[in-house]
Structure 1
Amino acid sequence: MRYLLILCMVAGVAATAATARAGEGEDALQAFYRSVDTLRADFEQVQVDETGEAIQRTAGEFLLARPDRFRWSYREPYEQIIVSDGNAFYFHDVDLSQVTVRDVDRSLRATPAQLLAGGKALESAFRIEEAGRRDGLAWVTLTPREGDGDFTEIRIGFDDSRPARMELDDQLGQTTRIRFADVAVDVEIDPARFQLVIPDDATVVDGREQRP
């Protein structure tokens, strides 16, 4: 597989000697959902196998505007764009000139961007648990309520109420680790960034449910 796009879920809490107060990670998660309307950040992503060896590295930009709009752009090693306009979810593989379209509510398991968008769908799809402090961050774990998704556990580390890291364990024993940098919240973002202009020569695969 030339490029594996991986994205999010979170689980269990163990007792720790860290000095976190009870509920710190969950409080940070709720504060992020409650008080942050827009977010812009750069990210670096590494996928490791079950032995901890890196098998893929990627980097790009993440934009978020609540409710339900986001843009997750991979700049390297291949240009790929994931966009939600609030109604539909688009995955554009620029190199392959292919666009996949899905309903937003059917894409929750597919991307960390959708997880960070939050909302009631998140709580209905995941068990959310406190995970203490690690590496100077307050962590929360999300475990899928149903076991048929791509990921078995997702962990999100917060610096105050800003996401700083994500870790996603998949069904194959691999882990995707994401680090955010230059995080800016409640900044002005051009609404056009949450629209995908589909090239005329692109192949479009529309997986949305047909509605009358």
Structure 2
Amino acid sequence: MLLRRLFFAAAVFLVAASAHADGVSDLESFYKNVDSLSAQFNQLQTDDNGEVLQRASGTFLLSRPDSFRWEYEKPYKQIIVSDGKEFKFYDVDLAQVTIRNIDATLRATPALLLTGGAALEDAFNIAAGGNHDGLSWVRLTPRADDTDFKEVRLGLKNQVPSIMELDDNLGQTTGIQFTDVKLNPKLAGSNFTLDIPDDVEVVDGRGMQQGNR
């Protein structure tokens, strides 16, 4: 489930900024000005010695107020969709779909913050990270103690996300570069639904989250 964990970390990248503006205010402007988004991504995970652990790539779609689709195309086919109430993770190679309610824990993750469904300040301590490498940077540290990551750094340019860096609790760093970003495209609602094939295993965690199956 490595890619699933990386997904949570990755999705926080979706903010808009200007290279010469304060990153914190730019983060807020994204919620105000962007209703939908599409992008390609390339993801690289390294250990604490800089050795490459994994490469991945895929596409991302966002539709406010509460829908997103994060799809890994390489090295494994995995699809993550959410309507803001339920989260579905489809591992195509394993032929397994996991369903969860969007509870307080998931709302504190970057995956849900990008939709604007939770107050940013409630989940993260936010600080401007200065301007370097032609980018305006923002540093976000989670307020909760049970997250998989310690810090997220966002590099933004010309109101388009460019780079995201994540430090996790294992000393690993995940870097993501975004390309072909389109702001406010028209996206069909079918992008944010998941047709579950009959021959896959379904792990329904909704009842478990509520304390009854």
State if a TM-score over 0.5 links the two structures. Answer: yes
How many residues are matched? 201
Instruction: Identify which range, 162-171 or 71-80, moves more after superposition.
Output: 162-171
Q: Give aligned-pair identity as a percent.
A: 52
Structure 2 partner of 1:17? none
Structure 1: runs of 5 or more not aligned: 11-19
3-state SS of paired residue (1:152)? strand
The alpha carbon displacement at 1:115 in A equals 3.4
d(CA) in 1 for partners of 2:142, 2:94: 32
Structure 2 partner of 1:190? 188
TM-superposition CA deviations, 1:96-153 (whole Å, max 9, x none): 011111122432455x443322343432111111111122111111111122211011
Structure 2 partner of 1:27? 25
Structure 2 partner of 1:153? 151
Structure 2 partner of 1:39? 37
Structure 2 partner of 1:13? none
Indicate whether 1:178 and 2:176 are aligned. yes
d(CA) in 1 for partners of 2:108, 2:195: 24
TM-superposition CA deviations, 1:52-72 (whole Å, max 9, x none): 121100000000011121000
Structure 2 partner of 1:8? 9
Structure 2: runs of 5 or more not aligned: 13-18
Indicate whether 1:132 and 2:130 are aligned. yes
TM-score by length of 2: 0.86
Contact 1:8-1:115 within 8 A present in 2 as well = no
Alignment RMSD: 2.3
Residue from 162, 165, 171 that aligns with 2:163: 165
The alpha carbon displacement at 1:187 in A equals 0.5
Structure 2 partner of 1:199? 197
Contact 1:50-1:175 within 8 A present in 2 as well = yes
Structure 2 partner of 1:15? none
Structure 2 partner of 1:107? 106
Structure 2 partner of 1:92? 90
TM-superposition CA deviations, 1:10-40 (whole Å, max 9, x none): 9xxxxxxxxx76x611122111121100000
3-state SS of paired residue (2:31)? helix
3-state SS of paired residue (2:9)? coil
Counterpart residue type for residue 30 of structure 1 = E
d(CA) in 2 for partners of 1:121, 1:43: 25
Contact 2:5-2:148 within 8 A present in 1 as well = no
Counterpart residue type for residue 168 of structure 1 = L
3-state SS of paired residue (1:8)? helix
The alpha carbon displacement at 1:8 in A equals 2.1
